Amino acid sequence: MSSIIEVQDLSKYYGKHLVYEKLNFDVKEGEFLSIIGPSGCGKTTLLKILGGLIEHSSGNISINGQPVKNALKARKLGFVFQNPVLLPWRISSSNIELPLEIQGINNSPKLSDEMLKIVGLEGFENYYPGELSGGMQQRVAIARALAFKPLILMMDEPFGALDEITRNHMNLELLRIWKEEKASISTVIFVTHSIPEAVFLSDRILVLSAGPAKIEEIVDIDLPRPRKTEMKHSKRYLEFMEHLRKIIGED
């Protein structure tokens, strides 16, 4: 599996505060990579650097051998955050179309309808955010990110504010969407505080230490796909859980 993102000697400072120094890793094309670590270690900062939303202090990052800014300009990156950030006065389809409008991209209502269908919200095109549950709002946010047909979907704690039942359901939905042909997504980079969530979703998990952060380990999750809820009771799944908790220091 070839690398879609390569990171070499990445360092980040906020003023004199060192977030991390000389991180080296890659992201494989077609994989689901999660980033976990203690609170405040720089997980979100790392995701934003990989997506070109904030600058790094030194080092090199490339996407398909090109600078990150090229991928941004080509709209190859999609973003979903913990807060769906939907405009309350715009219906679902209109919220999905907003980024396209801002960038002057011609689109048809069929595009937003198609994206809503992919995320399981067919029939909710004319609903306002206040009429949708938290999980449904986050689906609209995912649909909005998919509207650009990104190769890489970057997600920062997208289900962190949801209750456990809804969160588990959204994990299954995300895996389904990831493999949906019309969604166009090759790779997912996913930040989470939840070890169970990371193990269930991921092909690999990048574990950051407490700050100044370093990469403690990149763990290969060799659980079979498609992932099913029953897998959470398997011996292998529980072994990964225990191993990651020891790395992070939860035990």
Could you tell me the residue ranges of all domains in the chain?
Answer: 3-76+186-248
Q: pLDDT value at position 101? A: 80
Please report where in the chains the tokens 């009429």 appear, as a residue.
131
Structure tokens at 251: 């035990």
pLDDT profile of the chain (251 residues), mean per 10? 93 93 95 95 95 94 90 84 94 90 71 89 94 94 89 93 90 90 82 97 97 94 95 97 90 58
Whole-model pTM? Answer: 0.93
Distance (Å, rounded) from C-alpha 112 to C-alpha 122?
Answer: 10
Q: pLDDT value at position 129? A: 96
Q: Which amino acid is at 82?
A: Q
Structure tokens at 48: 């934003």
> Pairing mode, if any, of strands 58-63 and 3-14?
antiparallel
Distance (Å, rounded) from C-alpha 90 to C-alpha 222?
Answer: 42
Q: pLDDT value at position 181? A: 67
Distance (Å, rounded) from C-alpha 41 to C-alpha 140?
Answer: 29
Assigned CATH class of 3-76+186-248: alpha beta
Cα of 16 vs its chain's centroid, Å: 29
